[in-house]
Structures are given as structure tokens and as C-alpha cells.
């Protein structure tokens, strides 16, 4: 039976995964597989995966063989190239854990005109992020990127027009191949921008032995900060200052809120938020890295 026949006969909408070097690949696949008898995820299923993926970072490399075995439990076919994967799917989750690889991998998907979700980090520089979105525009193919922490309990319900500032914190271990906040601290930056919106003008990084405090100044006079924790107790959270109250953010409850928005995006071809926000997140991270390198000098985003 061909893939097209399979789609017609059982109504599945076919997702392909690029990169089995992250736990997200298994988590997303498992959730969709277990919900296939309901309409909660609009009939989307992962049907194929290309495993690679970073093979030079030990943590990532060691996950790939285990995840190849694990994902086949959910009736996923393993492909030997991205090209072969694109021939069998309708849309793509780019899950490779290495942001340095994303531009080249995204280019193949976008040129094939397959709607694309890029897991964090979208890239390892503003320049690569801009190129990805420019290519998506040229190919008239929808694309978006997000951390699951953007949908941390308390954030989606906020009225941005009421927000006067925010303080968030995030686990932020460092990987030498990435600018500090792209590797894991991007979760905190996504949280901050989901709360504050765009309009950040400049960034100052205060670097400490166990954490960094990154402070952004918005054009309307508001301030938002990210505490990036490298050592000691680590979690995600924060508080939001509004015109009426101080809102304490809730706990991270898993990937379901993000996954629901991904399948809605695949179905509608409309991203859940403007890609200009992701571009500014990349500019923020680049500026934070420059500020740290320059020992706390304030750096403009653009």
C-alpha cells in the first residue's frame, strides 16, 4: 500500500521528524500515537523519521540509537535521508537538537514546500534565523519555531497590554558549540517574549559564577529579565508585573499545549504568533552573548 493510499484510507495526516537526538521526538510521537482514536490532535500522526541529528555532541549522539528503537514502537518508518522522508510526509517537525544544523535542514524542507515546525533553538544566530524565515517567505511555505515553555501555565492567559515588566528564570546549562542562551536558556527568553512582546531595544548581561542575569529594556520603558541558572537548583518560572496585580507563573506541565498548537498550525498553515517575535528573540540572545563577552556592556539589538 502506498503512502498516499494509506492517507486516503485511514485519514491520517502524515508528519515526518528530522532528528532523533532529542527526547522531544519520542514525546511528540508517543502523544500523537496514543491519541489517534480521538480528534484531539486533528488526526496527525508521525509516520517517518530521519534520525540525524547531531553526532558530535556526546549527549545527542548517544540518544540516536536508543531513539531509533523506541520510535519504531509507534509504527514509524526510519528513512535514510531527508529527501526520502519528504517524499512520504505532509509536514515536518525539525527536532535536531543542534541549532547550527537547522538552516541547511530547513532549506530542504522549505524548498519541498512542506509546512515546518522548528524546535528550539531555531538556530545559533540571528543571521541564520533571518535566512530561514526569508526562505519560507520566498517558498510561500509556513514555518514557525517555539519552546514549549512559551505555554507555561499562566503565560497564555496574560493580557500583554497590561504587562509592565517581568522576571523569569530558566535552567541554562551551556554547550560550547552554541551561544549560551541558544542551547537551553532559550526557554527563558521565549517565556520573556511571550509575556512582554516585541520592542526590546537593548540588553545587558550580568555574569555570575552560577548564573547570568540578562536584563532587557523595551522601547516603552519596561524592563524584563531572564535569570539563566547554570549551577544549583534549576527550574522554570517567574513573575509578571501588571497594572493590576503581580502574577506568579505556574509549573511546566509538559508538551501538550505546544503540540496542540503545532498541529493547528499544520492544519491552518497559520503560525500561532508572528515570526518577528522569534527574530527578536534571536537578536536578544546574540546581544546578550556580546554583552557577556564585553563584560556587561549594554548592547543594542539592532
Structural domain total, the chain: 2
Burial 97-133 (b: 16+ CB within 10 A, else e): bbbbbbbebbbbbbebebbbbbbbbbbbbbebbbebb
Reported confidence tier of residue 9, pLDDT bands at 50, 70, 90:
very low
pLDDT-derived band of residue 7, with 50, 70 and 90 as boundaries? Answer: very low
Domain ends where: 117, 147, 177? 147
Judged against a pLDDT cut of 70, whether residue 1 lies above it is answered with: no
Mean pLDDT (the chain) is 94
Give a yes or no: residue 76 inside a domain: yes
CATH number at residue 215: 3.30.360.10
Give the pLDDT of residue 11.
58
Q: Is the pLDDT of residue 257 over 50?
A: yes
Q: What is the pLDDT of residues 33-61, one digit of tens each?
A: 999 989 999 999 999 999 997 778 777 77
pLDDT per position as a tens digit, 280-289: 999 999 999 9
pLDDT at 3: 40
Q: Say whether pTM exceeds 0.85.
A: yes
User: Do the domain assignments include residue 277?
Assistant: no
- Burial bucket for residue 276 (CB in 10 Å: 0-12, 13-18, 19+): exposed
The angle that helices 186-196 and 275-293 make with each other, rounded to 10 degrees, is 130
* CA end-to-end distance (rounded Å), the chain: 53
Instruction: Give residue-wise pLDDT tens across range 220-243.
Output: 999 999 999 999 999 999 999 999
Give the domain extent around 66.
3-147
Residue 73 confidence (pLDDT) above 60: yes
Q: Comparing C-alpha atoms, which of 70, 85, 84, 78 is closest to residue 28?
A: 70
Q: Give the ranges where the chain is alpha helix by DSSP (H).
A: 3-10, 23-34, 58-71, 82-86, 102-111, 126-138, 180, 186-196, 256-268, 275-293
Cell 500500500 belongs to 1
pLDDT tens-place string over residues 131-176:
999 999 999 999 999 999 999 999 999 999 999 999 999 999 998 9
Q: Are 51 and 68 in contact (CB under 8 A)?
A: yes
**What is the reported pLDDT for 212?**
98
pLDDT tens-digit series, residues 187-207: 999 999 999 999 999 999 999
The answer on 100 and 21 residing in a single domain is: yes
Cβ within 8 Å of residue 281, ≥6 positions away: 186, 189, 190, 193
Judge whether 264 lies within some domain. no
Domain boundary among 107, 132, 147: 147
Amino acid at each position: 500500500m502506498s503512502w498516499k493510499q494509506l492517507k486516503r484510507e485511514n485519514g491520517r495526516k502524515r508528519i515526518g521528524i528530522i532528528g532523533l537526538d532529542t527526547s522531544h521526538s519520542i514525546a511528540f510521537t508517543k502523544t500523537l500515537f496514543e491519541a489517534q482514536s480521538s480528534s484531539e490532535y486533528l488526526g496527525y500522526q508521525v509516520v517517518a523519521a530521519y534520525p540525524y541529528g547531531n553526532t558530535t555532541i556526546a549527549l545527542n549522539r548517544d540518544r540516536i540509537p536508543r531513539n531509533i528503537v523506541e520510535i519504531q514502537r509507534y509504527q514509524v518508518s526510519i528513512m535514510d535521508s531527508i529527501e526520502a522522508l519528504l517524499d512520504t510526509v505532509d509536514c515536518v517537525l525539525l527536532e535536531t537538537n543542534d541549532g547550527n544544523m537547522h538552516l541547511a535542514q530547513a532549506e530542504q524542507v522549505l524548498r519541498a514546500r512542506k509546512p515546518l515546525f522548528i524546535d528550539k533553538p531555531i538556530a545559533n544566530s540571528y543571521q541564520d534565523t533571518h535566512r530561514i524565515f526569508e526562505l519560507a517567505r520566498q517558498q510561500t511555505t509556513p514555518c514557525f519555531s517555539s519552546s514549549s515553555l512559551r505555554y507555561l501555565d499562566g503565560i497564555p492567559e496574560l493580557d500583554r497590554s497590561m504587562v509592565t515588566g517581568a522576571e523569569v528564570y530558566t535552567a541554562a546549562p551551556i554547550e560550547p558549540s552554541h551561544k549560551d542562551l541558544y542551547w537551553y536558556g532559550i526557554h527563558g527568553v521565549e517565556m520573556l517574549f511571550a509575556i512582554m512582546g516585541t520592542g526590546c531595544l537593548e540588553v545587558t548581561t550580568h555574569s555570575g559564577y552560577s548564573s547570568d542575569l540578562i536584563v532587557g529594556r523595551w522601547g516603552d520603558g519596561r524592563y524584563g529579565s531572564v535569570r539563566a541558572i547554570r549551577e544549583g537548583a534549576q527550574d522554570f518560572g517567574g513573575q509578571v508585573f501588571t497594572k493590576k496585580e503581580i502574577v506568579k507563573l505556574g509549573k511546566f506541565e509538559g508538551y501538550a499545549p505546544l503540540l496542540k498548537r503545532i498541529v493547528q498550525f499544520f492544519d491552518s498553515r497559520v503560525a500561532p504568533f508572528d515570526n518577528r517575535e522569534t527574530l527578536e528573540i534571536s537578536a536578544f540572545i546574540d546581544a546578550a552573548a556580546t554583552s557577556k563577552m564585553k563584560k556587561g556592556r549594554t548592547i543594542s539589538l539592532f
